[in-house]
Amino acid sequence: MTLHRRSFLAALAGAGGVGMAAAVRAAGVGPADALSQGPAGQAPALPMPPPLTAGSRLVAIAPGTWWEDPESEQTSLEARIASAGWELLVPPATRLRWHWFSGTDRQRCLAWEQAIGDQRAEGVLAVTAGWGSARLLESGWQPPPRPIWLMGFSDASALLLAQCAAGLGGAIHGGLHGDAGQWQRLVHLLRRQPVDPLQGQGWRSGITEGPLVVTNLTVATHLIGTAWLPDLRGRIVVFEDVGEAPYRVDRMLTQWRSAGLLAGVAGIGLGRFQWTPDDVMPGDLSMEEVLRERLGDLGIPLVGRLPVGHGRPNLALPLGHRARLDGGAGTLALL
């Protein structure tokens, strides 16, 4: 789906943290619980949902931009879900339209509440991206009452991060389409079966372990200062982005550094960073130069070029799951 990034940024900039703070208190998961560190400074893994089995129900939601091609995409997705032995529920709300969104903020938030309130539902699929997911967070968003699978990426990273910040596992960063291999990896994760390590390129050596936090950089940057951004201390953080020129990525990473948010991070992995070449002027740093310069001096393992994010393949990674990042071999493996 094409992202209209400038409007996307404007929509996200107004998100606040009051609603989330109230939500986690109501769910009995306080910020101190969600952000606590394990022994010897190690961050604890998050509680994961049970594996999906035959007959498990998944619910589709459209948390941001309206669904551009629901007929063909729904048919394809239903076939994949059925082939795994699961059931897909697609409520009528997924096809609503209000301006650029799939319904008003309140309608989209209500669709989320109904999805997590379905006692048979074991997972939620974010079938749209674009922009607008963060608006749900200030519109009464509540964390699930139990760990539940939540799949999406790009703009939906706002919801993945919020669930992680609430102390609940089950959020999976990844696309719902792509080739058979990409889909099968997601199926294995939902069944809580082993998956292959991801191969990238080692940019700074060292081996580290910790729970994963995987996100679109722009979306996460616009959650800074809210209760929806998880504590990153002791975590392995994986960033990706699209449509942002190197100089804008430089600005964002400088903000993360200046805010102290990368202090204590166990390691950093980098997926794809795609942008329009016309945004780069003569003499500018390249994207790789920006990423290496802004992140290579943190004294932690750094792996670039992971097959994660916009483009193919977009291999799924579970937030809150413990992983090992090997900066020498350039690999990221789930433990």
Residues marked active site are found at 154, 240, 310
* Planar angle of CA 266, 182, 93, nearest 5 degrees: 95
CA distance 149 to 115: 11
CA distance 123 to 70: 19
Which neighbouring-strand residues pair with 150?
124, 171
Estimate the share of the chain in helix, then strand, then coil, as percent rounded to the nearest 5: 35, 20, 45
For residue 211, give the nearest of 38, 21, 27 by alpha carbon.
38
The count of other CB atoms within 10 Å of the CB of residue 98 is 14
Q: Where are the alpha helices (DSSP H) in the chain?
A: 5-13, 18-26, 31-35, 70-83, 105-117, 133-137, 157-165, 180-190, 217-221, 246-258, 287-295
Report the chain's C-alpha Rg in angstroms: 19
CA atoms within 13 A on the CB side of 15: 33
Angstrom CA distances, 275 to 25, 128, 131, 173, stand at 40, 21, 17, 20
Per DSSP, the residues of 172-202 read EE--S-S-HHHHHHHHHHHTT---PPEE-EE
CA distance 285 to 304: 16
* Planar angle of CA 50, 19, 115, nearest 5 degrees: 35
